[in-house]
Chains A and B, each alone.
Chain A
Amino acid sequence: MSQCKPLTLHVPEPSGRPGHETDFSYLHLAEAGAVRRPPLEVLPSDTSDLAYALVRVLDDDGNAVGPWAADIDRELLRRGMRAMMKTRIFDARMVIAQRQKKMSFYMQSLGEEAIGTAHALALQEGDMCFPTYRQQSLLMARDVPLVDLICQLLSNQRDPMKGRQLPVLYSVRAAGFFSISGNLATQFIQAVGWGMASAIKGDTKIASAWIGDGSTAESDFHTALTFAHVYQAPVILNVVNNQWAISTFQTLAGGESTTFAARGIGCGIASLRVDGNDFLAVYAASRWAAERARSNLGPTLIEWITYRAGPHSTSDDPSKYRPADDWSHFPLGDPIARLKQHLIRIGAWSEQEHQDTEKELEAQVIAAQKEAERYGTLASGQIPSPATMFEDVYKDMPEHLRQQRRQLGV
């Protein structure tokens, strides 16, 4: 006779639901400065401890401490600060524009601004990022003209994507920002291929791949790790763990009792788990990974711990599935507030400068929005000509598309 009790299916649940506070102890935080910084040549298997630890530089008082506290140029930190602020202000304005029905859709990156910003500043001209829809901070750090971005969001006559893509799915080749796809995770393996191409050609450029915690469950995440490892591709594999994938908590993507960085170790890839709201840690870890890639030492996987502070998109209402005040309890805080504290402490910023910068960026975004709206909005109907709808399907338009264009009468 069997002594076994009936089996039960385990379906992970977040500790916090609307009306219940989240218990963030699952994050296993480390003190700032506590985690070692290995040499660039480290063996992937010798980074296993780092995949379960948390690289942090800024302590609670805003001091930069420990082995990852590199001597960073103040101007660069100030640039990073501005880019983060610009990202947040831009997001807030675009959410309003979406509510005013000037655009059909928008996605904020509230709370995640440090990751793309510091990472972009750690890369070099010519490196290619393969972003998701939540890395607009890469664009801000690379000073992409806001008018271009807003025209894309408005799908207007100046939209560089000619009205073909949903808002936010930018493509900015000149800024090393690969065309965003609606299909999750596909870009992760493409980044590896791009890095392989750079190696095949004996180039010195590297690729940077981006994915969210939820999307790591897609098969392309795994193919990317396998290919990156097999060919030692010059690529940084960034997993942005903002704890949520729409309404599903990161445990449902496989984060329970483990880390996403640990996936890298299993695949033979040097891996780090880093405080994604700590600008200095993001910059230092990105630099480390970029140098490894550029020195032909292979790929690095970095799990960035952060929190998706805003709704998933303008179509989402997070109060239906998580505590309304969750972000205020998230132990890693707000990346802008934390860098601000540090900059003020080292005398590179002030309350006054912060306010002035805020005003200036606000004006910049408003001016860009005004200019962009001059070229039309989806609501105003000033959209790219339907004739352009048939272009770029192929390099040269085949006969059947010419015929269909004629049928449309354009």
Chain B
Amino acid sequence: MAAQKDVKSETIPMTMIQALRSAMDIMLERDSNVVIFGEDVGFFGGVFRCTDGLQAKYGPSRVFDAPISEGGIVGAAVGMAAYGLRPVVEIQFADYFYPASDQIVSEAARLRYRSAGEFTASMTIRMPCGGGIYGGQTHSQSPEALFTHVCGLRTVMPSNPYDAKGLLIASIENDDPVIFLEPKRLYNGPFDGHHDQPVVPWSKHPLGEVPEGYYTVPLESAAIYRPGAELTVLTYGTMVFVSAAAARETGIDAEIIDLRSLWPLDLETIVASVKKTGRCVVVHEATRTSGFGAELAALVQEHCFYHLEAPIERVTGWDTPYPHAQEWAYFPGPDRVGAAFKRALEAR
């Protein structure tokens, strides 16, 4: 567990996009082995503008466009990492990482192990993920469970500009391969699931205040987004804000834990909270069955069994592909999350 703001330096308002760009800018500057590539990330600066201006500043041999080949992007990055570079590659949407699965699972994740440390894959794979943007089936997925299941990978997901920058710098510096999932619904402002209300920009949110310079948010450290006494919410990404809205609207004093690092994770913070509250609700956008929530529920059950006063609830996406028209029936909004809070509290 780490305080959200552990660095005192000049802060400026940033969106998550600007914060991510700032992290990459700083790492390109600090470490000549950092290279950035992916589809449309060079001259154009990325379809979400996350790498805007970086090619102009660092040149096309540090920041460049890649062919539309996810397997090629990750495979080439593994080779570069084996050479000694520190590639930061972008998969345009998390929904499109599948062609790179073999390189991620069989290669990047296992290289250190299988070569007994002779070769390593210090690399970061950035992927915009999550729904809530009418992205339909292939622009909305949350595939984190497909990564947390792979030994050798680190999976990270920020929920705000401050963490996004600090976690991305920490990920780039980390010597293990990191899957860095970016909830694109949070790129421009926090989103609590109330899609019928105007979007609040990050400039109006305290976590949109980001130090200009170098800092890190350590991996494997969760953040308590909202302290509370009645139940513990284990969540990450967009669902942090949805859970906070649910707490506000139900009046339930929920302790909301933003995991930040999904795996390996900060078990201590989770266990301490559940032991305190005796109740636990897991919330994620991804589909339910064998989703990451199942692992979280199992961990809580193993470590907090005698403190639990109610069954662990899971609020997740349905076990269907992500639909287009039915987006808000699919997306676990504050009502569904709030209902789970109530069930967890009422259970005996």
- A residues near B (Cβ < 8 Å) are 128, 130, 160-162, 164-165, 169, 171-173, 178-179, 181-183, 186, 189-201, 207, 219-220, 223-224, 226-227, 230, 392-395, 398-400
Which residue of B is nearest A195, CB measured? B79
Q: Taking A161-B115, A230-B67 as contacts, is the C-beta distance between A190 and B85 under 8 angstroms?
A: no
Which residue of A is nearest B117, CB measured? A392
Q: Is the CB of B264 within 8 A of A161?
A: no
Q: Taking A183-B106, A400-B264 as contacts, is the C-beta distance between A392 and B71 under 8 angstroms?
A: no
Q: Chain B, 48-72, contact with A by CB distance < 8 Å: what is the 0/1 string?
A: 0000000000000110001101011
**Cα distance, A161 to B116, chains bound together (Å):** 5
Q: Is the CB of B119 within 8 A of A193?
A: no
Which residue of B is nearest A205, CB measured? B83
B175 interfacial by beta-carbon distance below 8 Å = yes
Q: Which residues on the B side are within 8 Å of A200 (C-beta)?
A: 35, 61-62, 80, 85
**Cα distance, A130 to B76, chains bound together (Å):** 12
Number of interface residues of B (CB under 8 A): 43
Q: Is the CB of A160 within 8 A of B116?
A: yes
30 contacts between A and B (CB under 8 A): A128-B82, A160-B118, A161-B115, A165-B114, A171-B115, A173-B115, A178-B82, A179-B118, A181-B106, A183-B107, A186-B103, A186-B106, A189-B79, A190-B78, A194-B80, A194-B83, A197-B79, A200-B80, A207-B79, A220-B72, A223-B72, A226-B72, A392-B112, A392-B117, A393-B112, A395-B175, A398-B264, A399-B264, A399-B267, A400-B267
B309 interfacial by beta-carbon distance below 8 Å = no
Across the interface, A227 reaches (CB within 8 A) one of B72, B113, B116, B119, namely: B72
Q: Which 8 A-B pairs have the closest CB atoms?
A: A193-B79, A193-B76, A223-B72, A189-B75, A190-B79, A197-B83, A179-B115, A398-B264
Q: Which residues on the B side are within 8 Å of A201 (C-beta)?
A: 83, 85
Which residue of B is nearest A235, CB measured? B79
**Cα distance, A219 to B80, chains bound together (Å):** 19
B163 CB to nearest chain A CB (Å): 20
B324 CB to nearest chain A CB (Å): 29
Q: Is the CB of B71 within 8 A of A220?
A: yes
Across the interface, A393 reaches (CB within 8 A) one of B66, B113, B175, namely: B113
**Cα distance, A290 to B82, chains bound together (Å):** 20
Across the interface, A196 reaches (CB within 8 A) one of B79, B112, B174, B220, namely: B79
B152 interfacial by beta-carbon distance below 8 Å = yes
A202 CB to nearest chain B CB (Å): 9
Given contacts A171-B119, A191-B79, A227-B66, 17 further A-B pairs with CB under 8 A are: A161-B114, A164-B113, A165-B114, A169-B114, A171-B115, A172-B118, A179-B119, A186-B106, A189-B79, A197-B80, A197-B83, A200-B35, A223-B76, A227-B67, A227-B76, A395-B174, A400-B264
B99 interfacial by beta-carbon distance below 8 Å = yes
Q: Chain B, 106-135, contact with A by CB distance < 8 Å: what is the 0/1 string?
A: 110011111111111000000000000000
B29 interfacial by beta-carbon distance below 8 Å = no
A174 CB to nearest chain B CB (Å): 9
Q: Which residues on the B side are within 8 Å of A193 (C-beta)?
A: 75-80, 82-83
User: Max chain A CB contacts within 10 Å: which of B71, B114, B152?
Assistant: B114
Q: Which residues on the A side are within 8 Å of B151 (C-beta)?
A: 393
Q: Is the CB of A226 within 8 A of B67?
A: yes
B249 interfacial by beta-carbon distance below 8 Å = no
Q: Is the CB of B119 within 8 A of A178?
A: yes
Q: Which residues on the B side are within 8 Å of A186 (C-beta)?
A: 75, 78, 102-103, 106-107
**Cα distance, A274 to B145, chains bound together (Å):** 47
Q: Taking A161-B115, A171-B114, A223-B71 as contacts, is the C-beta distance between A394 and B85 under 8 angstroms?
A: no
Across the interface, A181 reaches (CB within 8 A) one of B84, B107, B117, B175, namely: B107
**Cα distance, A69 to B89, chains bound together (Å):** 44
Q: Which residues on the A side are within 8 Å of B82 (C-beta)?
A: 128, 178, 190, 193-194
Q: Which residues on the A side are within 8 Å of B78 (C-beta)?
A: 186, 190, 193
Which residue of A is nearest B153, CB measured? A394
Q: Is the CB of B76 within 8 A of A192?
A: yes
Q: Is the CB of A223 within 8 A of B79?
A: no
Q: Is the CB of B116 within 8 A of A392?
A: yes
**Cα distance, A49 to B239, chains bound together (Å):** 60
Q: Is the CB of B114 within 8 A of A164?
A: yes
Which residue of A is nearest B268, CB measured? A399
Q: Is the CB of B116 within 8 A of A171?
A: yes
B90 interfacial by beta-carbon distance below 8 Å = no
B284 CB to nearest chain A CB (Å): 20
**Cα distance, A399 to B116, chains bound together (Å):** 20
B176 interfacial by beta-carbon distance below 8 Å = yes
Q: Which residues on the A side are within 8 Å of B102 (C-beta)?
A: 183, 186, 220
Q: Which residues on the B side are within 8 Å of A199 (C-beta)?
A: 61
Q: Taking A193-B80, A194-B79, A223-B72 as contacts, is the C-beta distance between A162 and B112 under 8 angstroms?
A: no
Q: Is the CB of B118 within 8 A of A171?
A: yes
**Cα distance, A190 to B108, chains bound together (Å):** 10
Q: Which residues on the A side are within 8 Å of B99 (C-beta)?
A: 219
Q: Taking A164-B114, A181-B107, A183-B106 as contacts, is the C-beta distance between A189 and B120 under 8 angstroms?
A: no
Q: Taking A196-B76, A196-B80, A200-B62 as contacts, is the C-beta distance between A395 and B120 under 8 angstroms?
A: yes
**Cα distance, A223 to B76, chains bound together (Å):** 9
Q: Which residues on the B side are within 8 Å of A182 (C-beta)?
A: 106
**Cα distance, A224 to B72, chains bound together (Å):** 7
Q: Which residues on the B side are within 8 Å of A128 (C-beta)?
A: 82-83
**Cα distance, A178 to B83, chains bound together (Å):** 10
Q: Is the CB of B220 within 8 A of A398?
A: yes
B267 CB to nearest chain A CB (Å): 7
User: Max chain B CB contacts within 10 Å: which of A165, A173, A199, A392?
Assistant: A392
A237 CB to nearest chain B CB (Å): 13
A137 CB to nearest chain B CB (Å): 20
Across the interface, B76 reaches (CB within 8 A) one of A160, A189, A394, namely: A189
Which residue of A is nearest B176, CB measured? A394
**Cα distance, A207 to B76, chains bound together (Å):** 12
Q: Which residues on the A side are within 8 Å of B115 (C-beta)?
A: 161, 171, 173, 179
